[in-house]
Amino acid sequence: MNTPVLVLNANYAPLNVCTTRRAMGLLLVEKAMIVSNGRGVIRTSSRTFLRPSVIRLGYMVKLPRPRVKLTKREILQRDDYTCQYCGRRGPGLTIDHIVPRHSGGAKSWTNLVTACQDCNRKKGGQSAHEARMQPYRQPSEPPATAAYLYRRHLKTNQEWVVFVEGW
């Protein structure tokens, strides 16, 4: 019942991901309809329900444009789990402040990059410029497209791809 279900807005824009339990609740009170199933059925003592994979709300929900949360995991993913100074790939990767905190470097998409422990140690308390270590890619905030936001679900839920593309 905790299997993720993709929730679409009334206009088919991807809205969020919820649990199967929550999706069943929305379907039961007819606030949503099934768009894609194919996951078999859920049986209760008296009834059998199709197990949803994608549902669509019967009404429009207005939300501000989503943004990607600034977290360690998101920075690692943005940088493809690759040290931005030497190209080494994880595990054991850290997050480096290009301009160190003590020099006023911000906790921001443009100042945080993935670095391996060796590079982080080598760079020490210096800025990337002082250490003559330039990140491979100019870091920036990832676009909060549906494909980016839900990418970790797409491998295991191939049927979601058509609903997520282009938003």
If the CB atoms of residues 8 and 119 are measured against Zn ion, the closer one turns out to be 119
d(CA 157, CA 164): 11
114 counts as binding Zn ion under rule CB under 5 A: no
Q: Which stretch binds Zn ion (CB under 5 A): 5-13, 23-31, 109-117, 141-149?
A: 109-117
Instruction: Compute how many residues bind Zn ion; rule: CB under 5 A.
Output: 6
If the CB atoms of residues 56 and 78 are measured against Zn ion, the closer one turns out to be 78
Phi, psi of 36 (to 5 degrees): -145, 135
133 counts as binding Zn ion under rule CB under 5 A: no
Beta bridge partners of 54: 6, 36
> Is the torsion defined by CA of 134, 144, 70, 157 positive or negative?
negative
98 counts as binding Zn ion under rule CB under 5 A: no
Q: Which two tokens stand for residue 31?
A: 């606030």
- Edge to edge, the sheet with strand 54-57 lists 14-19, 4-8, 54-57, 32-36
If the CB atoms of residues 64 and 92 are measured against Zn ion, the closer one turns out to be 92
If the CB atoms of residues 21 and 89 are measured against Zn ion, the closer one turns out to be 89
- Residue in the block written with tokens 């410029």: 129
- Residue in the block written with tokens 């501000």: 64
Rounded to a whole number of angstroms, the minimum distance from the CB of residue 54 to Zn ion is 40
Of the candidate residues 75, 116, 128, 164, the single one contacting Zn ion (CB under 5 A): 116
Of the candidate residues 119, 133, 149, 164, the single one contacting Zn ion (CB under 5 A): 119
Q: Is 46 exposed, middle or buried (0-12, 13-18, 19+ CB in 10 A)?
A: exposed
Per CB under 5 A, which of residues 68..97 are in contact with Zn ion?
A: 83, 85-86, 88
Give residues in contact with Zn ion (CB under 5 A). Answer: 83, 85-86, 88, 116, 119
